[in-house]
Amino acid sequence: MQRIAVCEDETIVALDIERFLTRNQYTVSGLYSRAEDLLLAVAKQPPDLVLLDIHLAGSMDGLEAAALLHSQYGVPVILLTAYSDNATIERAKQSQPYAYVLKPFNDRELRTAIELALYRASMESRLRRSEQRYRSLFSAGLMPQCIVNAAGAVLETNAAFLELIAAEAYYGDLPTLLALPADRQLLERALATRGSLRNVELSLLVDQNKTRTVLLSLAPFSLEYEAGAFLCQALDITEKQELAQKLLQSQKMDALGKLASSVAHEFNNILTAILGFARMLESEIEGQVEAMAELEGIIRSTERATGLTKQLLMFARNDPVKAEALAPAAVCQDLELLLSRLVGKGIKIESRHQDEPMTVLADKLRLEQALLNLCLNARDAMSLGGTLRISSGLEIMPTPKRAIVQDIPAGKWAFISVADEGSGIQPVNLPKIFDPFFTTKPVGKGTGLGLSTVIGIVQSAHGYIDVASTPGQGSTFTVYLPLVSAQARIEA
């Protein structure tokens, strides 16, 4: 049964209304002569309806109370009064009563007003709940959404959309968020013709001119305050595309590796034969200076080609890793003996290794090859001479570290770094330096396999690599390898 409160300062009238309500199967939640007492009771437990006289015993009249009941509690009110002058009616309008019943009233008139008021209140309550439900579906939805008008101005956004564009609020134009002119024209055409879009792949500008790839859907609908509105949804597929590209690249590299291995084996057999015949010919033409010089050129070129096939084979090889416990400092020190003969007189080698003992698990020959490739690259970058610095030690990362190829997880890592004072790497080339066959060296000076071999070896040891480079000042390549002890890793 609906609960109805009565606020009437004349006791006889209040009791008469109470009997009427009881007789018609309503529950009387309370009788009040002062608006202040009514509001205190409503604050504790709101009734379904209030029958309210305008002139009351307290300092607050019924119209003030009706306005508070509407604005603060959403409780419907029927005004009961003997006054029908224009001034009172105009004031009554401001409190938005559900009915205005003049005294004296008959039972039929009052019952009709009560039933209509309760029905209207019920429908409005259902409408509010429905609006709140759909508002929540929009605001708290996982899909980034916004509402725009026909001109493309953003009227409303949900939290997921603001997170996508990395903004706390946005009230600009939706087309300006699109990176490509063709995308903007497509969206503007759909808005102008009240058309729709369904899962159209577009590039969306986000924080600091970065872009995200989204599937944009657009559908027209009408709002009470905006007849030509559109609902826009943007599904972020950037990570999905990146994974697809990585899978494609992996498949290409697998095919390339098999091709390189096959070609390198065949080519190596031919080079072995050429080199063998050259050695045989060397003994036959001994003493012929001009012929010997030409033959030496053949032998040097053949040996260089043999070195290239070895790099191809290492790049393509998928042999099992022969991991063993290694001390990074010891690996570096063994390598430095060889480097002193390889880097040339114009380059000084400096080494610095932390005293703290640490152990990593890696294939020694492969790790040495990776470090040798880095050192030879550093030598080639210092055509005018300089200092080659090799260091090793322990680095603690309390948080993940951003790197060129792949972010490095938080934890304790053994590191080996190779730094030079050479020409450095241009920022535009940094993302590509580990790609197979990518090189900035002159034709005939580089194969583009050195760094791709390095990253393959490092990753086979469950490690990571990072690069810091300043054009004209030099580069530092740092290899991070996990410590053998499981307790050495810290909580991220």
**What distance lies between CA 393 and its chain's CA centroid?**
33
Do residues 208 and 231 make contact, with C-beta atoms less than 8 angstroms apart?
no
Q: Please name the helix (run of DSSP H) or strand (run of DSSP E) that holds residue 292, with its range, or none.
A: helix 289-316
- Alpha-carbon distance values, 246 to 28, 169, 347, 379 (Å): 72, 34, 39, 32
DSSP character at residue 441: S
Question: Does residue 405 have a pLDDT over 90?
Answer: no
- pLDDT tens for 131-164 read 788 777 788 888 999 999 989 999 999 999 998 8
State the Cα–Cα distance between residues 74 and 470, nearest whole angstrom: 66
- R_g over Cα of the chain: 41
State the Cα–Cα distance between residues 94 and 456, nearest whole angstrom: 77
- Alpha-carbon distance values, 295 to 56, 169, 429, 445 (Å): 122, 74, 39, 22
Q: Please name the helix (run of DSSP H) or strand (run of DSSP E) that holds residue 256, with its range, or none.
A: helix 238-284
Percent of the chain with pLDDT over 70: 88
What pLDDT, on the 0 to 100 scale, is given for residue 389? 93
pTM of the predicted protein model: 0.46
Average pLDDT, the chain: 84
State the Cα–Cα distance between residues 383 and 472, nearest whole angstrom: 12
Question: Does residue 307 have a pLDDT over 70?
Answer: no
The vertex-93 CA angle with 88 and 98, nearest 5°, equals 115
- pLDDT tens for 191-245 read 999 899 999 999 888 876 788 899 999 999 877 767 788 999 999 998 888 787 7
State the Cα–Cα distance between residues 423 and 429, nearest whole angstrom: 13
Tokens found for residue 60: 């607050």
Q: Which residues have CB under 8 Å from 31's CB, separation 6+? A: 6, 8, 14, 15, 18
Whether omega before 104 lies within 30 degrees of 0, making that bond cis, reads yes
Mean pLDDT of 266-277: 80
State the Cα–Cα distance between residues 389 and 375, nearest whole angstrom: 9
Which three-class secondary structure state does DSSP give residue 460? helix
State the Cα–Cα distance between residues 179 and 192, nearest whole angstrom: 20
In 3D space, the residue among 450, 458, 452 whose CA is nearest the CA of residue 414 turns out to be: 458
Tokens found for residue 8: 């009437």
What does the DSSP assignment read for 134-171?
HHHHHHT-SS-EEEE-TT-BEEEE-HHHHHHTT-S---
Mean pLDDT of 89-102: 85
Mean pLDDT of 164-180: 88
Nearest 10 degrees: CA dihedral of 475, 477, 208, 410?
-150
- Alpha-carbon distance values, 10 to 20, 34, 110, 290, 461 (Å): 16, 11, 18, 134, 92
State the Cα–Cα distance between residues 310 and 219, nearest whole angstrom: 59
